[in-house]
Chain A
Amino acid sequence: MSLELLLIIAFGGAFLTYLLGKLSSGVRNFFAVFISCALAAIVAYLYGKPSEETFYLGFLGLPLLLRLNMLSWFFAIAIAVVGALSIIFSLSYMKGREKTDFYYLMMLLVNAGMLGIVLSGDLVSFYIFWEIMSWSAFLLISYNRGPALAAGMKYIIMSIVGSVAMLIGMLSLYANYGTLSISEVAPFVASASSGYILFILIVFSIAFGIKNAVLPFHTWLPDAHSEAPSPFSAVLSGILVRMGMYGFLLFFFVIVGSKLFLGLGRDNFHYILAWIGAINIVIPTFIAMLQNDSKRLLAWHGVGQGGYMVLGVALGTSLGVTGGTFHIVNHPSYIALLFLVVGAVEYRTKGIRDLNSLGGLIKRMPITFIGALVGACGLIGLPLTNGFVSKWLIYKSLILQGHPFLAFAALIGTWGTILSLYKFLHNMFLGQLPEKYRNVEKAPFNMQFPIIILSLIIILFGILPGIPLKVINSITTSFGLESLNINIWGIASETGALNTINIFAAILAVGLIVWLIFRAGPKAAPIAQDDNYAAGAYVPKEKYHYTVDFYNPLYRMISPYLRDFIDEFYMKLARGTQKLCGGIRHVYTGDVGHYVMYIVLFLASLIFVQIKWGIW
C-alpha cells in the first residue's frame, strides 16, 4: 500500500463524502465513518513498513516526497484513531444541524491534512499540508457562529503568523542548501554555523509554538477550543495542536540532531525551552481551575499539558524524550475523551457547558461519567492510566538530570490539574441533579462507543505501557539517543525501574482491603436531602446547588495574578493595528487636489534626491 494512495483516499474520501451528502445524509454518514476507519486500518497495517517515495516531481523544481518511519507512523495512527472516533461521535452530535456536509468535509480534510504533515518527506509538502490543515480548521472553528467568529479570527491570524515564520525558515534553508528533502537537508544543517541553526530553530519554534499553544503564543487556543463543535474540539486539542510537537521533534532530533540541539547556545537553548515548558505547565493549569465553562477548562489543560511535552522533549535525554513523546500520544486519548464527554453532556442538555448549572448527571449518564472519570485520572496522571507513565518518565528524567525546580513546577501543575478536574467531575456529574435535567437520557451508542474505546486505551496503556513504549523507544534510538530497556510492564533499568504490574497488584490489594473494611462496617442508609441537612435550615429543592462558585476563596486569592496578560497585550496590539490602519487609510483623502499634490511631490522628491545626492 503506497503512501500516495493513502493520501488520495484521505483527500478523495473527504470530497466524495461531501458529494454523497448531496444525495442522502445516511449514505454520507456511513461513508464518512467508513473512510475514517479505513484510514485507521491502513495506517495500522503500515506498521513497521518504512518507505520513501516521490509523489510529485518538480513543484517549482522541487520533488515532493512522502516517507514513513516510526515517528511518522506513531503520529499517523494517533491522528487516524482520534479522527475516526470523533467522526463516529459526530453522527449524533451533528444530527439536524446546518451545513453537515460541509462539516464532514472539513473534518475529513483536517484529518487528511494532518496525515499529510506527518507523512511528508520534504518541507514543501509539510508546509502545504500544514496550511491545508490550518485553513480547514479555521472553517470548522467558525462553524458555531456568534462568539466562534472571533475565536476563529484569533486562531487564523496567529496561524498565519506561524506559517509566515515557517515559510521564511523553510525558504532560507532552500536558498542555502538547494534542497528541502528532510533526509538531504539534515546533514547540511548539521554542519551549519550554530548561529544559523539557532535562527532556523527559533523561526520554526515560533511556527510550531503557535500551533502547539506554547506560552506566549497560546492565546488563540482557549477561545478556539471552547467555541468549536465538541467532536472537533477533541481533534483540535487532542492531535491538531500536537502537530506542533511533531514539528519540534522533527526539527530538534531529525534535522538538527540531538547532540547539536543540546549544545546550542552554549547548552542554554534547550534549557530555556524546558523552562518555557515548565511555566507553560503551571500558569495555564491554574487558569483552568478558574474556568466555569467546561470546554474552556479543558482547553486550558490542553495548553498546560503541552508544557509537559515541551519539558520532556527539551530535556533531550532518552527518558525525557520518551516521556514527552509518550505524553504526546497519551494526551489525545484523555483530552479527546473529556471533550467528547462534554459533547455528550452538551448534546443531552441542549448545549449547556456552564459548570455552575450542571450537576448530578451520574445517575442519568453513567457510562459518560465513567469515561469522564477515566479521562480525568489520565489527565491527572493517576497510576494505572497512561498519563501516569508518561509523567513518571518526565519526573524521573528531571530528577536524574538534577532539575529540582523544573520537577517542582511539574508537580505544582499536577496539583492544579487535580483541583480543576475534581471541579469538572463534581460539577457535572456529582452533587444534586437539577430539576430540569431530571429526564436527561443517557448518551446514544455512537457517542458512548468512542468514549468507551478511549477509556480502554487509557487503561490498557496504563497497565501495559510497554506496547507504545517499544515504538517510542525505536523512535528515540533513531534520534541517536540511548536505548531504554523496555518490557511490557514498563522500564527495567538501574536508574529507575517502572513496573506497572506491581502498582496494579498494590492497587488491587488496597482496593480489596478497603472493600472488606466497608463490608465489615455497618451499612450506610440513604436519607432524604432535607432530612437533618444544612443544620436544620430549610433547603429549597430546586434552587439549591452547592457547586456554584467552587473554589471561590482560592479564586479570590489567585485570580489577580492569573490574568492572561499576554492575551490582553495581543488584543491591545490588535486594536492598535486597527487604529493605525484606520489612520493610514486617510492618506486617501478623497480630495483630488491632494492626489495631484502626491504625484507632483513624488516626482519632485525623486528629482531632488538625485540632484542633492546623485544616487544614479
Chain B
Amino acid sequence: MVNPVLLIAVPLGLAFAIPLFGFISQKLEKYIPPVAMLFNLIVSLSLIPKVLEQPIVVSIGGFPPPFCINLVAGPVGVLFSAIIALVGFLVSIYALDYIKEGATEKYHMLYLLLLTGATGVVLTGDIFNLFVFFEILCISSYALVAYLGNRAGIESAVKYLIQGAIGSSLVLIGVALLYGLFGTLNMADIARNIDSVSPISVFVPLVLLITGLGIEGAIFPLNAWLPDAHSSAPSSISAILSGIAIEVGIYAVARVIFTVFGASSIFLFLVLLGLLTLLVGEMSAFSQKNIKRLLAYSSIGQIGLIVFALGIATSYGVVGGLFQIISHSLSKALLFLAVGYMIYRTGSMDISTLDGMGKRMPFTSLAFTIGAFSLVGLPPFVGFPSKFLIVRAALAKEEVLFTVLIALVLLGTVIEGAYFFRVIQTLYFKGKRVSPNKREEAPIAALIPIGILMILIIVIGVYPRLVTDILNSAASELLNRIGYIKGVLG
C-alpha cells in the first residue's frame, strides 16, 4: 500500500527542489509540477478502493493518536486530494506555455506549494496541522495573485493578504481556545470530548473557526477579497483558486462543523448563509462587464450552492454538495483556462471584446460553452447530476421552508443562466461576421487540459455513477462522527 504521507511529502519536497533543478536546466523547472501532480493523482486514485472499505490513519512519529500528528485518508480526504491533483495536474500542463514571463521559477514553486497546502488540509487529522497547511495554501496564493506584478494584481493581493491574515489569526485563536479546553489538538479527540464542556465555551472557538476558515471558503460576507483576487491573478492561478482553494476552505468549514463540533443546530444557519452567498454572488455577476470578475462572482454563487447543500446535512444533501464541488472544480477550471487565452488574444477582459471568438478560437469557445452549460446545470454535463441531487435533497426534507428555499436557489440558477448565455451569445453571434481564415487557436499545451476537462465534464455528466460510490462514503464519513472518531482513535 502506498503511504498517504507521500501525497504531501512528494510535492513538498519537489517544490523546494525546483530552485535546485533550476541549476541543471532552466527548462526543467516547469515540468516538475505536472510530474508531482500526476504522482498525486495516481496515488489518490489507487487509494480510493482501500479507503472505501476503511479510512487509512497514518501516525507520524510512531505514537498512537491522539499523541501524534496524524493523517486521516478517509473517503473525503482522498476524494479531495484526487480533485486537487487532477485539476492541479491539468492546470500545470496549461501553465507550461501560458507562464512565460516573470519569475517563472517562483511561480512553479509557489504553485506546487499551494497544492501541497491544499492536499495537507484535506488529509490531516490534526487541527493545528490544518492551520499550518492552510497558511501554506494562503501565503502561496497571496504571492501568486500578485504574480503579474501589475497594479491591480498587487492591490488585490494586498487586500487578500489583509483579509486572509485576519482569518488566519481568528483560526489560530480558535485553535488555541480548543487546546486550552481539551488539551489536545487531534480532531477526533476533540470531537470525542466536545460534549463534556459547556456549549457556550465551545461556541466561541466554533464561530472563530467558521469565520476564519470561511474567509478562504468565500462565504458571504467574508468573501470580498475573492472578486479582486480571482480576476487579477493569471488565469491559470484563477483556475486553481476558484477550482480548488475555495473548495478546500469549504472542506475545512464542513470538517469543523460536522466532525469536530457536531454542531447540528447551526445547519439551518448554514443553509441560509449558503442561500445568501448564492444570491449575492449570482446577482453581482449579473451586470459584470469583466469576464474574469464575472467568473469570480459566479464562483461565489457556486460556493453558496455547495454550502446550501452541505447545510441540508442529510446524506442526499452532503452527496449533492460534494458532487457540486466536483462539478464546480471541473467547470470553473475549464472556464478560467478557456478565458485565459481569449484574454491573451484580445488583450482585454471586457466581455464585449470577445465577439467573434467562436470563429477565431472555435475549440476554446466550445470549451467555454460546455463549462458554462455545466455550471448552469444543463444535461448532459456534470452540473446536471449535482444540481439534481441538491434539489432532491432539499425536497426530500418535505418541509415547506425547504421547498421555498430551493425555489430561491433555482432563481439564482436563472440569473446564472442569463449572464452565461449572454456571454455565449457574444462568443458566437455578436458583432460583425469575421472572415473565417482568421484563426488564432490556443497552443497545444493549453488545448490538451481544456480537452480533458471537457471530456470529463461530459463523461461524468453522462455516467455519474463513476463518482457516486466515493461520494456516498464521503458523505457518510462527514455525517457519521462516531464512526470517524472510532476509525481514528480505535
Interface of A with B (CB < 8 Å)?
58-61, 98-99, 124, 127-128, 131-132, 134-135, 138-139, 142-145, 148-149, 152-153, 156-157, 160-161, 164, 167-168, 171-172, 174-176, 577-578, 580-582, 584-585, 587-588, 590, 592, 594-596, 598-599, 601-603, 606-607, 610, 615-616
Contacts and interface: CB of A to CB of B under 8 A. Distances in A.
Contacts of B59: none
A175 B227 contact: no
Contacts of A61: 468
Given A127-B379, A587-B221, A156 B287 contact: no
Contacts of A602: 211, 221-222
Interface residues of B, number: 73
A164 B414 contact: yes
Given A60-B385, A168-B391, 5 more contacts: A139-B428, A156-B421, A577-B415, A580-B283, A588-B224
17 contacts: A98-B433, A98-B436, A139-B428, A145-B431, A149-B425, A160-B376, A164-B410, A168-B407, A175-B396, A581-B415, A587-B284, A588-B227, A598-B224, A603-B207, A610-B200, A616-B206, A616-B265
B292 to A, nearest CB: 14
B163 A595 contact: yes
B101 interface: no
A616 B203 contact: yes
Contacts of A134: 378
Interface string B3-38: 000000000000000000000000000000000000
Which of B225, B391, B430 has the most chain A CB atoms closer than 10 A to its own CB?
Answer: B391
A60 B468 contact: yes
A135 B417 CA distance: 11
Contacts of B378: 131-132, 134-135
A149 B287 contact: no
B53 interface: no
A78 B446 CA distance: 45
A90 B284 CA distance: 41
B163 A592 contact: yes
Contacts of A598: 221-222, 224
Interface of B: 158-159, 162-163, 166-167, 170, 199-200, 203-204, 206-208, 210-211, 215, 221-222, 224-225, 227-228, 263, 265-266, 269, 280, 283-284, 286-288, 297, 358, 373, 376, 378-380, 384-385, 387-389, 391-392, 395-396, 398, 403, 406-407, 410-411, 413-415, 417-418, 421-422, 424-425, 428-431, 433, 436, 464-465, 468
A595 B165 CA distance: 13
B225 A595 contact: yes
Contacts of B428: 99, 139, 142
Contacts of A143: 429
B280 A175 contact: no
A253 B384 CA distance: 29
Contacts of B266: 615-616
B417 A599 contact: no
A315 B464 CA distance: 42
A584 B379 contact: no
B167 A142 contact: no
A516 to B, nearest CB: 58
Nearest to A610: B203
Contact of A584 (B283, B373, B417): B283
Nearest to A574: B418
Contacts of A174: 392, 395
Nearest to B224: A595
A607 B376 CA distance: 36
B207 A607 contact: yes
Contacts of B286: 577-578, 581-582
Contact of B163 (A138, A176, A596): A596
B167 to A, nearest CB: 7
Nearest to A601: B221
A585 B301 CA distance: 13
B391 A599 contact: no
B287 A581 contact: yes
A588 B392 CA distance: 33
A168 B395 contact: yes
Contacts of A161: 414
A596 B166 contact: yes
A168 B379 contact: no
Given A142-B425, A175-B395, A599-B167, A584 B284 contact: yes
A57 to B, nearest CB: 9
B211 A603 contact: yes
Contact of B464 (A59, A145, A167, A584): A59
Nearest to B417: A160
A175 B430 contact: no
A587 B421 CA distance: 25
Which of A127, A584, A595 has the most chain B CB atoms closer than 10 A to its own CB?
Answer: A595
Contacts of A581: 283-284, 286-287, 415
B284 A153 contact: no
Given A58-B465, A98-B433, A135-B373, A587 B280 contact: yes
Contacts of A577: 286, 415
A577 B285 CA distance: 12
B284 A585 contact: yes
